[in-house]
Chain A
C-alpha cells in the first residue's frame, strides 16, 4: 500500500511539473497571463508530493518490505537501522528519487521565497525548473521505478554492498545531491533571465545564495567522499582521480567559478554573459557527473548496475538540457547588453583570471575523465591517472592560487600592483623561505610548490582584513577570508602528505615490533571478533609515538555474509600533527601476518581545510541572506508607510 501511495505521489508530481511548464510558458504571453498565477502554488505542491514519495520509500526500507523489488535487492532484515534507511538512496532508483525530491523542494522554496525578480523572469525560471524536472520524472517512472513490486515477495533481502555500510556514506550522497540540484536552480534562473533578457545585479543577487548554498554542499560532499575513500578503501590515499570523484569535482570547479563571477555581476554589473554561460556549464557538469556515475559506462564502487538503457536515457536528458540551454544562450548572448568596464589590473581582472584558470582545470579534468571512453570507441583501452592529472592540474592551480593571494587586495574597477606591493611582501618572503628550506631537504617539485604556496597563502588570506575594524567586518568578507585560509590549509595537508608520508609493508608474528616514522608498533595479538552482519579477524597493535605512552589500534579484515564479501577495516590514530594508518592483510603460509602501516604527517589538514572552505561559504551565505532580509523588511516598511499616507 505504501509503495502504491509513493508511486501515485510521484506520478501526480510529474503531472504538476508538466502543468507548471505549460502554465509558466503561457504565462509569459499576453493572453495567458492569468495562467501565470498558478505557477507558484503548483511548484509548492509538486515539492510536497515528491517529499511524500520519498518518505514512502524510506518507510518501505524502514520496514524492510521484501515485496518491493528495490528493498529486496538492497536491504536485509539483519542490517543495522541506519544502513537500512541509508539503503533507500544507496542504489540507482532510490538515488534518482532523492534527486527528484531535492529538485522538487528547491522549486518549492524558490516559488515561496523569491520576490525580488520581475514576475516574468520568475515564471520563466519556474518553467525552466519544471522542464528539467520533467526529464528526471520520465527517467524515474519509465525506466527506474523505485516502487516496483516483487511477486512473490523475496524470503530475504540481498543486502547492501559492505563498502557502502558506513556512517559517512549515509550522508555523502544526499549532501552531493543537494549541491548538484542547487545548481539546477542557478541554471533555471539563468534560463529565466536569458528568456526575459533581465540580466543584471538584481538577478545576480537572487541567484547568488543558491550558488553559495550548493557550493557549500558540494564542498562538504567532496570532503566527506574523500575521507570515506581514505579510511574505507584501505589504500592510504585520499584522492584517486577516479572518474566518479572527478564527476563531483567538475561541478565544484564550475560552481567555484560561477560563485566568483556572480559576485562581480552583483557588485559591479560586469561579466554578464560569462556568468550566464557558467550557470549553464555548472549544471551541465552536474548532469555529466550523474551520467558518468549512473550510466554504468564507468566501473567503480559507485556504478551500481550496468544498464545501457538508463545510460542512453540520461545521455538524452543531458543533450536536451545542455543543447537547449546553449542554443538559447547562443540566441540571446548577443542581445544581453554589455556590462560595466574595468581595467585588467583590478578586482574584476583578478576574478576573470581565476575564472579562466578554473575553466582550464575543469577542461583538463573533463578531458582526462572522458579520454578512456573516447579511446575505447577507437578500440584502445586506456586509463588515465595521477601522472596526467597532478602535473596538468598544477600548471593552472599554481598561478590561480598566486592570484588568489593578491586579487582580494585589489580595488574594483582599476588599481595598480604598486599599491599592494608592500602588503604582499610578507607572504612572498615566507614563500621564498619555505621554498628554499624544502629544496635543501630535497622535496619533490609539486609538494615543494604546494607547501611554499600554502605558507604564503596562510598569511595572504588574512591581508584583506588589514586596516579594518574587525568588529565591523561584514560576514561575506569573513567568509572569503575563512575560505581562502581553508584553501591554504588544505593545500598544506595535500603537499605534506605527498612529501613526508612514510610507509611500511611488513609480515609480523604476534609479539614482533616495527618502526614507522616516529612510531614504534607492536603486534600484540590477532583474534576473531563478530559484528551484526559480519565476522572479522582483528589485530591489536600497541603503538608508541616517540617513546611516549602506548595507544591501541585494531585494524580488521571483515567477512560479510550478505552479500558475501571481504573488506579491510583500517585503523587510524590521529594526533595534532598527523595520522598513523594501519591495515591488516593476510596470514602467510609461515604464520606471519601482513601489515601495512603509514605515518602521514598533517594529512588531516586536507579535510580540515575543506571544512573551513565550506564554513567560509556558509558565513558568506548567512551574511547575504541576512542583508537581503533586512533590505526586504525595509522595503516592506516603506511600502506600508506609503500605503498609510495614501489613506
Chain B
C-alpha cells in the first residue's frame, strides 16, 4: 500500500495542488488582463496619448454633424468622432447599428492605424433609453455640453 500517502498528507497534497493550480490561473489571468484588456479613450486622450498600433481599444464620442461618408463599396463608412476638444477620423466596414447617426454618441471598438485613422470593427450606438454603454453615459454627462457648444 505504499502508493497511498498517509491520510493527512493526501488531503494536504490535494489542497496544495489545487492551490497551486488556482494561484497559477490567477497569475496567468492577471498577466493576460494587463495585456488584453481594451482601454476606453475619448478623442482628447487618444490624441494626447495614442495607444500602441496593435492594441485593441475603444473610442467613445459624438459623431460630428455632416461627417458620415459612405465609400464606393457601399458598406464602408467614414466619420469623425469628437469630444469638443479633439477629433478622430474613424473608418468602419460593416452594418452600422440602427441608432448610429450624426450628433449622437457612439463607442467604436478597434485599433488606431498608423495614419491616425481609427479602424473600427464594431460600433455600439445608444440602443434605447434602457441600454446605454457605460462610458457613453459618463461622457455625455461630462462632455455633451462641450460637444453641443462646438457643433452649434
List residues of A whose CB falls within 8 A of some B CB: 161, 234, 273-274, 299-301, 303-305, 338, 341-343, 352, 355-357, 359-361, 363-364, 367-368, 371-372, 375, 380-385, 387-388, 391-392, 395-396, 414, 505-507, 557, 563, 565-568, 583, 585-586, 588-590, 592, 594, 596
CB-defined contacts of B98 to chain A, threshold 8 Å: 557, 565-568
- Which residue of chain A lies nearest to B14 when distances are taken between CB atoms in the complex? A352
Q: Which 10 A-B pairs have the closest CB atoms?
A: A507-B74, A566-B98, A381-B40, A360-B25, A585-B95, A388-B36, A382-B37, A367-B29, A387-B36, A356-B21
Instruction: Determine the residue in chain A with the shortest Cβ distance to B60.
Output: A381
Checking A367, A563, A596 against B26 with a beta-carbon cut-off of 8 angstroms, the contacting residue is A367
Residue from the list B30, B38, B131 in contact with A300, Cβ < 8 A: B131
- Interface positions of B (Cβ within 8 A of A): 3-5, 7-8, 10-11, 14, 17-18, 21-22, 24-26, 28-30, 32-33, 36-40, 56, 58, 70, 73-75, 93-96, 98-99, 109, 127-128, 130-135, 138
Residues in A with CB closer than 8 Å to B7 are 338, 341
Q: Is A364 a contact partner of B25 (Cβ separation < 8 A)? A: yes
A367-B70 CB under 8 A given contacts A360-B22, A381-B39, A382-B39: no
* Bound CA–CA A304/B127 (angstroms): 13
Among the listed A356, A388, A507, A590, which residue makes an inter-chain contact with B32, where contact means beta carbons less than 8 Å apart? Answer: A388
Contacting residues, chain B, for A568 (C-beta < 8 A) = 95, 98
Contact pick for A590, options B5, B22, B74, CB 8 Å: B74
Residues of chain A within 8 A (CB-CB) of B18 are: 274, 355-356, 359
**In the complex, A568→B18 CA distance in Å?**
46
Q: Are B58 and A367 in contact (CB-based, < 8 A)?
A: no
Select one of B14, B28, B36 contacting A274, CB under 8 A.
Answer: B14
A303 to B132: give the CA distance in the assembly, Å.
Answer: 10
Residues of B within 8 A of A585 (CB): 75, 95-96
Q: Which residues of B contact A594 (CB under 8 A)?
A: 74-75, 95
How far is A556 from B38 in the complex, measured between Cα atoms in Å?
A: 33
| Residue of B with least CB distance to A363 | B25
A361 to B127, CA, bound (A): 32
> Which residue from A273, A368, A586, A589 sits with its C-beta under 8 Å from B33?
A368
Assembled-state Cα–Cα distance A367/B28 (Å): 11
Kindly provide the distance from the CB of B142 to the nearest chain A CB, expressed in whole angstroms: 12
Question: Is A383 a contact of B3 with CB atoms below 8 Å?
Answer: no
Interface of B is mostly: mixed
Contact A161 B70 (CB under 8 A): no
Task: Give the chain B neighbours of A355 by CB distance below 8 A.
Answer: 18
| Chain B residues within 8 Å of A372, by CB | 37
- CB distance B133 to A299 under 8 Å? yes
A299-B132, A414-B3, A567-B98 in contact; A359/B21 too (CB < 8 A)?
yes
Residues of chain B within 8 A of A375, CB atoms compared: 37
Within the complex, which residue of B4, B37, B132, B134 is in contact with A371, where a contact is CB–CB below 8 Å?
Answer: B37
Chain A residues, Cβ within 8 Å of B74 = 506-507, 588, 590, 592, 594
Give the Cβ gap from B127 to chain A, nearest Cβ, in Å: 8
- CB < 8 Å: which of A368, A391, A506 contacts B75? A506
Say whether A384 contacts B25, CB under 8 Å: no
Q: Are B4 and A343 in touch, CB under 8 angstroms?
A: yes
Q: A380–B138 Cα gap in the complex (Å)?
A: 12
Tell me whether A356 and B40 are in contact (CB under 8 A): no
Shortest CB-to-CB span from A335 to chain B, Å, is 13
Chain B residues in 8 Å Cβ range of A301: 127, 131
Q: A563 to chain B: closest CB distance in Å?
A: 6
Instruction: List the B residue with the shortest CB-CB distance to A504.
Output: B75
**Contact, CB under 8 Å: B128 / A383:** no
Determine how close the nearest CB of chain B comes to the CB of A446; give it in whole angstroms: 14
Chain B nearest Cβ from A95, distance in angstroms:
15
Contact residue among B24, B36, B109 (Cβ-Cβ distance under 8 Å from A384): B36
Decide: B135 and A381 in contact? CB cutoff 8 A. Answer: yes
Residues of B within 8 A of A414 (CB): 3
Check A161/B37 contact, CB under 8 A, given A359-B18, A387-B56, A588-B74. Answer: no
What chain A residues lie within 8 Å of B21 (beta carbons)?
356-357, 359-360
Contact indicator A392/B32 (Cβ below 8 Å): yes
- Given A363-B22, A368-B33, A506-B74, the answer on whether A382 and B40 have CB atoms closer than 8 Å is yes
- Quote the shortest CB–CB distance from B83 to chain A (angstroms): 14
* Nearest residue, chain A, Cβ from B137: A299
Q: Report the Cα distance A161→B131, complex, angstroms.
A: 10
Contact, CB under 8 Å: A507 / B73: yes
Contact indicator A383/B58 (Cβ below 8 Å): yes
* Distance in angstroms between the alpha carbons of A628 and B58 in the assembled complex: 55
A384–B38 contact, CB under 8 A? yes
Chain A contacts of B135 at CB under 8 A? 381
**Closest chain B CB from A509 CB (angstroms):** 10
Which residue in chain A gives the minimum CB-CB distance to B74? A507
Complex contact B33–A371 (CB within 8 A): yes
Residues of chain A lying within 8 A (CB to CB) of residue B10: 338, 341-342
